[in-house]
Amino acid sequence: MQRATRLQRELALLATEPPPGITCWQDGQRPQELRAQILGGADTPYEKGIFDLEIIVPERYPFEPPKIRFLTPIYHPNIDSAGRICLDVLKLPPKGAWRPSLNISTLLSSIQLLMAEPNPDDPLMADIVQYKYNKQLFLLRAREWTEKHAGQ
């Protein structure tokens, strides 16, 4: 019950006051499944890309974080080939920083920020760690993937 009420409030807020470059909506008849789109930020290798995400809201939400993954392939050191995201606010303490006061809008904004500023010290994709050592090569590959997979 708490999940449904909270989700309705959050979705209403996302519809009327979405964060810049982010949209989110309910996916079909299942209230626990959401979809989101994040526009790649200006001056990033993801610029002009549209990235689709899947959000599964657990029964215990907001006491448990939603599971969010990219459906659109993205070349990023903190996002793996299955679309899973390495971000502290998506995990419960003690390893994570999820708190019930956070919401889906905040999570999507955090993911958008991670896209703009990868964390090379906590890579999920070891082969993309060149972000730290060869940023030009990383930027080139990330732009290529964006054009190929997230182009409009």
The pLDDT tens digits of the residues spanning 14-24 come to 999 999 999 99
Q: How does DSSP classify residue 18? A: P
pTM of the predicted structure, to 2 decimals: 0.94
Tokens (6 digits) for 33: 């499944």
User: Which residue is it, tokens 């959401």?
Assistant: 34
Domain boundaries, the chain: 1-150
Give 59-109 pLDDT, tens digit per residue.
Answer: 999 999 999 999 999 999 999 999 999 999 999 999 999 999 999 999 999
Catalytic residue from among 22, 24, 86, 114: 86
pLDDT surpassing 80 at residue 41:
yes
Query: Please, are residues 105 and 19 in contact by the beta-carbon 8 Å criterion?
Result: yes
**Residue length, the chain?**
152
Which among 148, 124, 120 has a CA at the least distance from the CA of 51?
A: 148
Closest-CA residue to 19 (of 104, 91, 100, 98): 104
d(CA 36, CA 69) in angstroms, rounded, equals: 10
Q: What is the pLDDT of residue 1?
A: 67
> What is the residue-averaged pLDDT of the chain?
93
Dump pLDDT digits (tens) for 104-123: 999 999 999 999 999 888 78
86 is catalytic: yes
Could you give the 3-state DSSP secondary structure of residue 147? Answer: helix
What's the CATH code, domain 1-150?
3.10.110.10
